[in-house]
Amino acid sequence: MAAADASSVAVAAGPRFHSVLSLARSSLDIVIPSATLMSIVFACFCLPALTSLPSPVAGRVLESNLPLFSPGHFLGTDLNGNDSLSRLVHGGRVSIQIAFAVNLIGLVLGGTVGALSGYLGRFVDALIMRVLDVFIAFPSLVLVLAVAQGGGGGIANTIWSLSLFSVPAFARVARAATLRIREQPFVDAAVLSGAGAGRIVFRHLVPNIAPQLIIFGLLGIGIVIVIEGGLSFLGFGVQAPQPSWGNMIAQGQQLFLSNPSLVLLPSGMLFLVVLSCNLLGDALRTRWNIA
Amino acid sequence: MTKPELTPIVERRDVPWRSWAGGLSSALSAVILGLVLRRFATAVPVALGVSVLTFWILNLLPGNAAWSLLGTDATAADAAQLEAKLGLDLPATERYLQWLRGLLSGDLGKSLASGRPVTNLIAERLAVTAELAGLAVLLATVCAVGMALLAARTPLADRVGAIVSMVGISLPNYVLAIVLVLGLAVHARILPSIGFVPIQESPWGNIKSLILPVSALAFPLFSICSRFLRGDLAEQMEREGYILTAKAKGVGPWSVLVRHALRNSLAGLVTIVGLNLGPLIGGAVVIEQIFALPGIGRLLLQAINIRDVVVVQGIVLVIALITVSATLCVDLLYLALDPRIGRGRR
């Protein structure tokens, strides 16, 4: 984080007499996607507590397939009479939780393995890279399907199965970044002052590769949300009646001609979150000047 | 390249077209042989690890193929009888070793559900998946090259291209597929929505049935490729000395772009395509399911659902081998596009 903070401070201090407004205008590419992301996260996690949304699974068949803006159901209802807004919000909560957990596991485990592999080099590095190559080359969805089905669906199983692929991906990024940092003089200085491998990796290397890992994590959140949606869409991830954007799209297909909003709303949310993550990742990359 | 005295700067990968045509010399073929051997040496442990992992996971879960086949109202006695018939009563390690022995003689075993040899099941369906994925890669790369070249010449195309590729990267292929099906097939009735027509039956019907699935599969790859290519071309046009040299000696703007800049970017493009082959095959599984195409992706989903371990393992192995071979092809293509790699080892 140190490098990240340092560079953002440097950027902010650039124009000496700036107003908050001009700073905001000059960094619209960061403000807009992060505001979008924050409002979606806020809606998904706080809306059910703040307002009296109906439960996402307590619909009555009598009220099934209501159009948008029906009284009591702002975004209408689905095939089973469940409130669409409530399902959208609860489904988003599941997707975001899974994406966050998977990337956190990848960041911590993969980041550590990658940094150690890059720093230690030689035999350890070669061994770890061979193992990672296996996972990178393998079509991830296939194995994830088998693992998710194996555990019988559910949030926890989906998280573990997707982590099989976030860990190696993070490890590769961390290793590449470490290789670039390792040659710098301050690492030699640390070695000369008698620091051990663990101290060098965690106190000197990790803070320097953090910005790159954070950007990769942002892109990773988008990727995981897409894969999780695909799993649930195929019926292997989050199981109905519990909502998730993926299984809402799959279910809404049946009623597309009479009520396209059942497909378009969760699709649109999915697209918006992934787009915001990608745009934010790109903007931060430019801002922090990372290749 | 007609006046050699004017092109002293040979930076990056700027080489004349002809230099690699006769480049498959003995030194280069040794490099190629080494590459092939190394790839397959890594492929064996990869395939073994993947098969052990799949087998272990599928056996860890409660229930098995016997229970799935008999349905919910089966008695324990029925299930035990079927388990014995299918060989599921043996310990897991023994079943795995049995499967491995069969594999060494080229036999992938028999499906637990239908009793048919897995090799036949896969062979029947591999062509569909190969056609789908192959056409998608072709469509994506050709369109990406066209788009990137246009973007490098006209600012408007650059803007549009940037937006299109950002949308493509952020749009899941299953969402795109559904929108395409419901918009173009169900609503407008221009194209068939689902189903597959074999090419032997009707070549035109085959193409028509594949237009939507191939587009849905190709769009994300196209976006990634055109984004990369656009950036790479722009960087070369601004920074590289040989571009300046070419311009200075009077080469036309399109010619500079295609013969000098694009030629250098192609090696990078091949790498990007190679890195995205895994996700592409994963995407094909979803696309086949949506469009009801009889490829190995659908076979895999059906097999996972009824816990047909033997079929799942066969498919996973075949996909792993395809991925490794595809990576090998990428490496070889790279060698052809960037002669320095082969020469450096002489």
Q: Specify whether the CB–CB gap between A247 and A240 falls below 8 A.
A: yes
Complete domains list, chain A, with CATH? 14-287 (1.10.3720.10)
**Chain B residue whose CA is closest to A248:** B175
Lowest-confidence region among A145-149, B101-105, B152-156, B260-264: A145-149
Residues 6+ apart with CB under 8 A from A241: A56, A57, A80, A82
B105 CB-contact burial (10 Å; exposed 0-12 / middle 13-18 / buried 19+): exposed
What's the whole-number average pLDDT of chain B?
78
Single-letter code of the amino acid located at A144: V
* pLDDT of A7 strictly over 70: no
pLDDT for residue B144: 92
| Residue A263 Cα, gap to closest chain B Cα (Å) | 9
Q: Tell me the C-alpha distance between A284 and B181, whole Å.
A: 36
| Residue B216 Cα, gap to closest chain A Cα (Å) | 14
| Residue A189 Cα, gap to closest chain B Cα (Å) | 34
Contacts of B305 in chain A (CB under 8 A): 149
* pLDDT of A245 strictly over 50: yes
Per-residue confidence at B4, pLDDT binned at 50, 70, 90? very low
The parent domain of residue B304 ranges over 118-345
Residues 6+ apart with CB under 8 A from A221: A99, A100, A103, A273, A277
| Residue A272 Cα, gap to closest chain B Cα (Å) | 8
Whether residue B5 is contained in a domain is answered as: no
Contacts of B171 in chain A (CB under 8 A): 271, 274
Task: For A249-288, write each residue's pLDDT tens digit.
Answer: 888 887 777 778 888 888 999 999 999 998 888 888 888 8
* Whole-number Cα distances in Å, B124 to B121, B290, B299, B320: 5, 20, 10, 18
| Residue A227 Cα, gap to closest chain B Cα (Å) | 8
The residue of B39, B42, B170, B328 whose CB has the most chain A CBs within 10 angstroms, and thus the best one to mutate to test that interface, is B170
Region A5-30 average pLDDT: 56
* pLDDT of A5 strictly over 70: no
Q: What φ, ψ does residue B146 adopt, rounded to 5°?
A: -60, -45
Contacts of A133 in chain B (CB under 8 A): 42, 46
Does A133 sit within 8 Å of B278, measured CB to CB? no
Task: For A55-92, write each residue's pLDDT tens digit.
Answer: 777 666 666 666 666 666 666 777 777 777 888 888 88
Task: For A109-161, write each residue's pLDDT tens digit.
Answer: 988 888 888 888 778 887 887 777 667 666 667 667 777 776 666 788 888 88
Does B279 sit within 8 Å of A249, measured CB to CB? no
Q: Which residue has the higher pLDDT, B194 or B173?
A: B173
Does B42 sit within 8 Å of A133, measured CB to CB? yes
Per-residue confidence at B27, pLDDT binned at 50, 70, 90? low
Does A226 sit within 8 Å of B278, measured CB to CB? no
Does B46 sit within 8 Å of A226, measured CB to CB? no
Q: How many residues comprise chain B?
A: 346
A257: contact with B, CB 8 A cutoff: yes
Per-residue confidence at A18, pLDDT binned at 50, 70, 90? low
A221 CB-contact burial (10 Å; exposed 0-12 / middle 13-18 / buried 19+): buried
Does B305 sit within 8 Å of A149, measured CB to CB? yes
A249: contact with B, CB 8 A cutoff: yes
* pLDDT of B72 strictly over 70: no
Per-residue confidence at B139, pLDDT binned at 50, 70, 90? very high
Q: Say what the pTM is.
A: 0.79
Does B187 sit within 8 Å of A142, measured CB to CB? no
Does B301 sit within 8 Å of A275, measured CB to CB? no
Domain count of the fold of chain B: 1
Contacts of B278 in chain A (CB under 8 A): 136-140
Q: Specify whether the CB–CB gap between A224 and A170 falls below 8 A.
A: no
Q: What single-letter DSSP state applies at residue A54?
A: P
Region B4-19 average pLDDT: 44
Does B175 sit within 8 Å of A143, measured CB to CB? no
Does B169 sit within 8 Å of A137, measured CB to CB? no
Q: Which residue has the higher pLDDT, B3 or A288?
A: A288
**What CATH number is given to the structural domain containing B290?**
1.10.3720.10
Does A229 sit within 8 Å of B174, measured CB to CB? yes
